[in-house]
Amino acid sequence: MTANVKKLSTLALRLPMRSRAVLADLLLDSLDEGSTESFGAAWLKLARDRDAELDASPAAGKSHADVMAAARKAVRISSQEMAHRP
């Protein structure tokens, strides 16, 4: 990672969540070069690959309860971070 990218990412991560989401969307669009099909195909391949991994080794997956607990924790942390921002 170059110094410029590191500095930009540090600044970007200090933005409020909504601003980070908008920035992420803009960055993804810049990679897309106008073709939503390429991202759709990439996501589909990723989903199929992960599905194949789980078929090959079901124990590698996480339970619904574990996933939901992690999601709730992440949302709680984000909410707390937002409350402490000026």
Q: Structural domain boundaries of the chain?
A: 1-33, 35-86
Q: Which two tokens stand for residue 44?
A: 């589909």
Spacing of C-alpha 80 from chain mean position: 19
**Residue 30, pLDDT score:** 79
**Residue 37, pLDDT score:** 67
> Do the Cβ atoms of 32 and 39 come closer than 8 Å?
yes
Residue for token digits 């590698």? 60
**Residue 49, pLDDT score:** 92
Residue for token digits 């391949």? 45
**Residue 32, pLDDT score:** 59
Tens-level pLDDT at each residue, the chain (86 residues): 788 888 998 999 999 888 888 898 888 877 756 566 667 788 899 999 989 988 888 777 888 898 889 888 888 776 666 666 55
**Residue 48, pLDDT score:** 94
